[in-house]
Amino acid sequence: MRKISSFALLSVMVILMMLAALGVSCGISEQAPGTGTLTLYLSDAPIDAENITGVYITINEIQYHLDGQWITCEEFVGNQTYNLLELTGGNITLLGGFTLPAGNYTQIRFMLDIPEMGSHKTNSGCYVEFADNSTEPLFVPSGGETGYKAIGQFTVPVNGTVEVTADFDVREAVIVAGSSYILEPAVKLIVND
9 and 55, same domain (yes or no): no
Which band of pLDDT confidence, cut at 50, 70 and 90, is reported for residue 105? very high
Q: Structural domain of residue 15, as residue ranges? A: 1-31
pLDDT tens-digit map of 46-94: 777 778 899 999 999 999 998 888 999 999 998 999 999 999 888 999 9
Which band of pLDDT confidence, cut at 50, 70 and 90, is reported for residue 120? low
Least Cα distance to 156 among 64, 76, 43 occurs for 64
8 and 92, same domain (yes or no): no
- Residues facing residue 189 across a β-bridge: 166
pLDDT above 90: percentage of residues in the chain: 45
154 and 85, same domain (yes or no): yes
* Tally of domains in the chain: 2
Average pLDDT over residues 146-174: 90
107 and 175, same domain (yes or no): yes
171 and 86, same domain (yes or no): yes
Which band of pLDDT confidence, cut at 50, 70 and 90, is reported for residue 171? confident
46 and 64, same domain (yes or no): yes
Q: State the average pLDDT for the chain.
A: 79
Q: Is the pLDDT of residue 188 over 80?
A: yes
Q: How many CB atoms lie within 10 A of CB 131?
A: 11
76 and 131, same domain (yes or no): yes
CA distance 138 to 85: 15
25 and 83, same domain (yes or no): no
Q: What is the pLDDT of residue 140?
A: 77
Do the Cβ atoms of 105 and 150 come closer than 8 Å? no
129 and 54, same domain (yes or no): yes
77 and 129, same domain (yes or no): yes
Q: Is the pLDDT of residue 154 over 90?
A: yes
